[in-house]
Structure 1
Amino acid sequence: FSSEIIEPLQKKLGRSLSGLHKKRNYRLTLTLLFWLRVLIAQDRLSPAAQNSSLRGYSRISPHRKTTFLDVHCSHCAVVSSSGQMLGAGAGDEIDRTGCVIRMNNAPTRGYEKDVGKRTTMRVVSHTSVPLLVENEQYYFKQSANTTYVFWGPKRNMRQDGEGIIFNVLLKLAVKYRKSNMYVVTESKIKYCDSVFQNETGKNRMKTGAFLSTGFFTMILAMEMCDRITVYGMIDDKYCSRANHSDVPYHYYEQKRLSECRMYKYHESTQRGGHRFITEKAIYAKWATQHNIQFKHPTWKL
């Protein structure tokens, strides 16, 4: 414990022991020990409680009370929606992890063996909100213990009555009072844009790209988790390898485009695409700086 706290207490305790009656000294010692315990407890507050970056996630409240996300996990499982999860058999391992983070509307029912069944948090794009609304009883009532973090552009998420998606979420928050729903603040969105530009040297908006839900998820995970295991995410070189496997873009949409075809299309489109492959290269760099590992497939960093 810091000397700034210990030394004054020791001096004060020493003076009291030399000048006071034993019984009084005993009471004073107990009092000082009590306050020392309080100070130690404050010093051991979870990193999330001391982490100002989590103020970038504001709770959706019917009472318009400003509350920020306050969560910390020693070990997080970030579960990709990729078809790589099919046959992974990682369900039990994922469920044993302290916090399980999923994205958008990725289901667990019917896929428990591969992706697990627990969900601590979901990071959801504004475009996926209608998919959750279609099954709102499940997402916001049956899964009331799940924390939802929604992101989207200002035009959809503005809170002055003109944000179409935010208005939908606010109605859900009123209807399901026990739900834990947060939005990524406008300042946090700008921060994520600046991270992308710092890592790539490219302005996201000028290149006609949108950050993916995976990008927001990885940033949030690094802010709230000490250790991260990412399941089902391919690296940036995967699709260029001759022997890469051909899997669906989403494990729960097996008749849609393949993952690599989707990634290559988005990487090259001039307007409105996600830079999935570029983002994977960024994650590889982050993994050398943070406690992050990748499984199914394993990355060679």
Structure 2
Amino acid sequence: MMPLTFRPLQLNCNHCAIVSNSGQMVGQKVGEEIDHASCIWRMNNAPTKGFEEDVGYMTMVRVVSHTSVPLLLKNPDYFFKEASRTIYVIWGPFRNMRKDGNGIVYNMLKKTVDAYPDAQIYVTTEQQMTHCDRVFKDETGKDRVQSGSYLSTGWFTFILAMDACYSIHVYGMINETYCKTEGYRKVPYHYYEQGKDECNEYLLHEHAPYGGHRFITEKKVFAKWAKKHRIVFTHPNWTLS
């Protein structure tokens, strides 16, 4: 990862909390527990304000998709002024991240750093993007591009966190069979937005011929990684056979 000032990001965390954006977080009241982790990871534009009891209020690392950057910029004071100690890692394809004046997302981030000089914003390199694609192919046997899918922000967060954290506690993420279980908890796709149903979204994306995230496939891989790394999933709990 290179920041807009071209220093590589070096993270070394003991116990990490990864907080899902899922509606599963609603009513869990684990905010205080989350805030006790040495590094707290969040994704995209998931807010803490107003949801502290369930999700905590501290953020150390926020991993953000290139498509979510405009959502952060709708509320830049909240994300880049109040949360100036947060490290932002922005991932996206080279066409959006290029530094020659034609990278639409890179240009937005450059303006943000000009307006908020204390903001700590890092962007993924082309090599890192290729690495994440390669890991997907190694783990699933499928070529991401040929299968018409996009990796999720969760995928990038996991790969970064496994590198940076001694142990990881993931909150609010469902496993690959959750939506098929009897009497599962129906929740919104995001804890901070009403509307889309989580399981409907997952199934829609999994089977989209083009442009979908393979959330269910990714969860299967995360379960595999949890057997080799110190990773636990709660709210709901995962049983790793």
Gaps of 5+ in 1: 1-56
- Residue number in structure 2 paired with 1:282: 221
Gaps of 5+ in 2: none
From 26, 37, 57, the equivalent of 1:97 is 37
Q: Does 1:142 align with 2:82?
A: yes
Amino acid aligned to 2:219: K
Within 5 Å, give how 1:38-77 maps onto structure 2.
57-61=1-5, 66-77=6-17
**Once superposed, what is the RMSD of the aligned Cα atoms?**
0.7
Q: How far has the Cα of 1:186 moved from its partner?
A: 0.7
Q: Does 1:294 align with 2:233?
A: yes
SS of equivalent to 2:176: coil
Is the radius of gyration larger for structure 1 or structure 2?
1
Cα distance in structure 2, aligned partners of 1:136 and 1:153? 23
From 85, 90, 98, the equivalent of 1:158 is 98
- Residue number in structure 2 paired with 1:258: 197
Within 5 Å, give how 1:1-301 maps onto structure 2.
57-61=1-5, 66-254=6-194, 256-301=195-240
Scaled by the length of structure 2, the TM-score of the pair is 0.98
SS of equivalent to 1:249: strand
SS of equivalent to 1:207: coil
Q: How far has the Cα of 1:242 moved from its partner?
A: 2.2
Cα distance in structure 2, aligned partners of 1:131 and 1:194? 28
Scaled by the length of structure 1, the TM-score of the pair is 0.79
Q: Whose strand fraction is larger, Structure 1's or Structure 2's?
A: 2
| Per-residue deviation, residues 114-143 of structure 1 (Å, max 9, x unmatched) | 000000110001111111111111111111
| Per-residue deviation, residues 241-295 of structure 1 (Å, max 9, x unmatched) | 12211100000012x1100000000000000000000000000000000000001
Higher relative CO (Cα under 8 Å, sequence separation at least 6) belongs to 2
Higher deviation after alignment, 137-146 or 279-288: 137-146
Amino acid aligned to 2:2: S
SS of equivalent to 2:33: helix
Q: Whose helix fraction is larger, Structure 1's or Structure 2's?
A: 1
| Identity in percent | 54
Amino acid aligned to 1:226: Y
